[in-house]
Structure 1
């Protein structure tokens, strides 16, 4: 079986798991299209640490790291097993690349991991690990992090960078899920999408100074950094496999790096 692509998934709001939308429909069918991996490693925007950490629990808990959402969402669980042996191998790969890594036997799965996975692999039988992001590290650090993880793809592991192509919650003012995207969201998303699908890695690494409205699209970088992990784990250029927006501010694009 050929290696699965590395993915960058825009996970949007936690309500993606419940609320009808094109992004939800896409992810609900994408897992069966990809096939069942041996394990899944998610680099999530919602776990920031000083240096890389890897979940090492045998049975990771479902973390509800959000407030003010429907009770039904808080009641959801994603009981996928962990894989302590794979966690050790993942930490070893990161350490060998000079990045360092610490296994974390207590950390569970945050919504950056379980929300897209509850749609892609709802039976929750595939082992899932998370790797943290380092906000101070920037794009080049996360590209190297993804490159360190690349050998796992040859072992049947699906590597996912989970964030958002745009992420500025300050611009949310109660817009409907299908509200038209704000102009800056379109401008930044178009630029980033073209750079990804044209293989312009150097431009993406310098996106903060080159992309239109970069600081507004990403006031902080944690939701864009998983893109670089996916790029590093795959090869360039990437393929856009889904495009769309929710609430007018979140670009919900998904990219595959074969």
Structure 2
């Protein structure tokens, strides 16, 4: 079976589901390039827990975890099946890695999962297993989650971290009608340079090393899915490829990354 990359996707606003723009084009292109996954593990910035939890629902419901948007957004369903057997395997792998993991048989797919998945695989016919993140435990913890699951990529499982390469909603009003937040490009350029240099250590220490880290990410939860995807690359060589999907509302960078990891 062909080895899949791991991915980091900037999922943007829930409105991306109705107005996909450039990120919709880029995700469709990416799906066309990838071998069809057997299943997808989705670590979203919108499922946060104190300890690792994996979703084991056989038919995960679509969660509309937002308010104040058009009814058309609430009408969208993403009826992909779950994969309880894969959830069992994920829990076992994480347990063996010293990351005791619970299973949640009721968890559905939040918008950080179903919005990008709907653009990647609109038929919703590939099983999806959601995985919670624990941002209070720091970037190295998310990296460890990804590293423990990296072997699944050899089994046709697509490992995805879903967040946003910059995420400061405090700046939305200032830039939504024009202009661009001055910290966005320096931050995303630093990230790309560190990824191309396989410098995972700097990325794990981004709070101290990255320019404008506090402005780009007042809180960590939308950046740490990147650390999950880095760990899931499976080695010191990341094989990082940046896919530029533009900047939304002048402050949400929509970068996508694929990590092919070390060559066989």
| TM-score normalized by the length of structure 1 | 0.96
Measure, in 2, the Cα distance between the counterparts of 1:173 and 1:53: 35
Q: How does 1:138-153 map to 2 (within 5 A)?
A: 138-153=138-153
On the 8 A contact 1:198/1:237 being kept in 2, the answer is no
1:182 and 2:181 are equivalent in the alignment: yes
Could you say which residue in structure 2 is the equivalent of 1:232? 231
Q: CA RMSD in A?
A: 1.3
Could you say which residue in structure 2 is the equivalent of 1:18? 18
Could you say which residue in structure 2 is the equivalent of 1:217? 216
Measure, in 2, the Cα distance between the counterparts of 1:175 and 1:123: 34
Alignment coverage as a number of residue pairs:
257
Give the SS at the match of 1:172.
Answer: helix
Measure, in 2, the Cα distance between the counterparts of 1:174 and 1:19: 21
Give 1:23 deviation, angstroms.
Answer: 1.2
Give 1:6 deviation, angstroms.
Answer: 0.2
Could you say which residue in structure 1 is the equivalent of 2:35? 35
Measure, in 2, the Cα distance between the counterparts of 1:240 and 1:130: 24
Measure, in 2, the Cα distance between the counterparts of 1:246 and 1:174: 13
Q: Deviations over 1:52-91 (max 9, x none)?
A: 1000000110000011111111110000000000000011
On the 8 A contact 2:242/2:256 being kept in 1, the answer is yes
Measure, in 2, the Cα distance between the counterparts of 1:89 and 1:55: 12
Match of 1:246 among 248, 252, 256: 248
Q: Deviations over 1:117-149 (max 9, x none)?
A: 001000000000111010211111111110001
Could you say which residue in structure 1 is the equivalent of 2:113? 113
Q: Deviations over 1:202-235 (max 9, x none)?
A: 1111110011110111010000110011011114
Measure, in 1, the Cα distance between the counterparts of 2:175 and 2:71: 21
Measure, in 1, the Cα distance between the counterparts of 2:67 and 2:25: 24
Measure, in 2, the Cα distance between the counterparts of 1:243 and 1:180: 17
Measure, in 2, the Cα distance between the counterparts of 1:20 and 1:86: 30
CA pair 20-228 structure 1, distance change in 2 beyond 3 A = closer
Give 1:175 deviation, angstroms.
Answer: 4.2
CA pair 69-232 structure 1, distance change in 2 beyond 3 A = same
